[in-house]
Structure formats: C-alpha cells, structure tokens
C-alpha cells in the first residue's frame, strides 16, 4: 500500500523542529529538502545561513531532532561531496537529482565502499534514489537503474519551492516508466494534493511526498486521514 511522506523545506532549524513536532507519532518517515541556492534556490536550512552547519559534529544528530526515518532530498550541486555528511547524521534514504552531478558512478561507488550499500540490501539502513525534473527525459536515469532503489519524479516545474501548481505531464511519464520498470519503487514530490493523488496512485506511485498541502492545514491528523482514505481507494502499489 502507498504511504504519505511529509516533506520539509525550511530556512531554520527552529521551523524544522516545529514541523517535526506536528507529525510526531503520526508518520514514521519524513523527507527534508536540502537546497544549496546553486542547483536550486532559494537556499534552505542548513545552507540558508553560513553558521547553520556549525555544531553538527556527532554522528546521528538527526535522530536528536525526533524519532523518524529521515529521507534527505539533495537539491545541491555535486551531491557526492555532501552525501556522506547526511548518512553520518542518520539519514536512511538519499535522493540525488540526476541533473545535479556528472559523477554519479563515483557517488554510488563511495556508497558501496564506505557504507556497504547494495541495491535492495538492508533498505532500512540505506536506500538510494534518483530524482528527475519534469522536463528531463527518463532516458537520463536508465543507465543507473541497476544501482538505484527508487525513482522520484518531480511533479512541479521549478524545484526547491513549495506551493507550486501540479504539472500533469508527470502522470504520463510515470505510466510509461512503470510499464517499462514494473518493479521499481516510485515516488512523486511537488504539487501533491488530495486532487492530484488519485491519478498518481493509479499510475503506480508508492510514496506521496507531500509538502505545502499538508503544512497549510491546521489539523494535520484530519489531513493525513483524508490521504489515507484516498490511498485505500486508489493505491495499488507497495
């Protein structure tokens, strides 16, 4: 069955902690959008202020913020330079945008050599996913699927900003990709609402990464319950 993953895009640690409190004991996984202001913008925590990274010196510090499984969406240039930082911090899922690096094989090799990563092996410890923008052809990720656990399709035109309208072009991309790769886990980030979710679920999406539509609701429990009802009706994929 599909699941809802709240995504947090924030300029401060205080706001991050406040959002985590709102979904504590309600979901077991959250995605943190990490935007460096170069690959995408504007910059988010911990890139928003030059001192925000100071003090994160111990392994597992993400777990100090709340007991979640942390997925980090690296909307940064050269993610191979920062992936290790987030794994040490406690991330168990990494999302790398195919457009952000020319050295993807180097990054995968480092994940294997340093962290023991293998596709499908111990996914609760470390899973690796590729994201692609709405205008990027799926052929760009084809060479790397043998070492990729999941694929994240972006459902908006410009990444790094929440509250944008859903781009329906992603639905046909999903259908075509799922037909070619029926076993690949798919998730969509951007533009997710109760209105767009049914078509995405029907196209084969297993994880709905929800941002603006969730955080704008005063009653998080009620909104999550509405998503659960949509998933029960339309979700067919694990």
Give me the domain span that covers residue 85: 3-234
Nearest CA to 32 out of 80, 78, 65 is that of: 65
List Cα–Cα distances, 123 to 23, 71, 155, 212, in angstroms.
Answer: 23, 12, 25, 27
Nearest CA to 125 out of 100, 158, 160, 90 is that of: 90
Residue 52 to residue 42: CA distance in whole angstroms: 15
DSSP character for 221? H
Tell me the pLDDT of the chain (238 aa) as tens digits: 789 999 999 989 899 999 999 999 999 999 999 999 999 999 999 888 767 766 566 789 998 999 999 999 999 999 999 999 999 999 999 999 999 999 999 999 999 999 999 999 999 999 999 999 999 999 999 999 999 999 999 999 999 888 899 999 999 999 999 999 999 999 999 999 999 999 999 999 999 999 999 999 999 999 999 999 999 999 865 4
Residue 160 to residue 41: CA distance in whole angstroms: 6
Domain CATH for 188: 3.20.20.70
| Structural domain count, the chain | 1
pTM of the full structure:
0.96
Residue 192 to residue 154: CA distance in whole angstroms: 10
For 130, list phi and psi in degrees, rounded to 5: -110, 140
């Amino acid at each position: 069955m599909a699941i809802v993953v709240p995504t947090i895009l924030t300029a401060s640690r205080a706001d991050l902690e406040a959002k985590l409190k709102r979904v504590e004991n309600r979901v077991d996984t959250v995605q943190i959008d990490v935007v460096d202001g170069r690959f995408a913008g504007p910059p988010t925590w911990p890139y928003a202020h030059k001192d925000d990274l100071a003090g994160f010196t111990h392994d597992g510090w993400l777990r100090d913020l709340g007991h979640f499984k942390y997925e980090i969406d690296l909307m940064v240039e050269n993610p191979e330079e920062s992936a290790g930082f987030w794994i040490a911090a406690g991330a168990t899922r990494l999302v790398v945008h195919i457009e952000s690096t020319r050295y993807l094989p180097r990054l995968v090799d480092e994940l294997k050599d340093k962290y023991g990563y293998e596709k499908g092996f111990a996914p609760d410890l470390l899973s690796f996913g590729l994201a692609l923008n709405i205008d990027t052809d799926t052929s760009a990720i084809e060479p790397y699927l043998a070492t990729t656990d999941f694929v994240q399709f972006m459902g908006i035109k410009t990444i790094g900003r929440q509250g944008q309208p859903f781009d329906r072009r992603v639905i046909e991309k999903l259908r075509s990709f799922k037909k070619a790769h029926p076993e690949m886990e798919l998730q969509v980030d951007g533009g997710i609402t109760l209105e767009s979710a049914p078509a995405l679920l029907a196209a084969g999406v297993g994880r709905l990464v929800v941002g603006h539509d969730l955080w704008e609701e005063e009653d998080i429990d009620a909104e999550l319950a509405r998503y659960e009802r949509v998933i029960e009706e339309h979700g067919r994929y694990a």
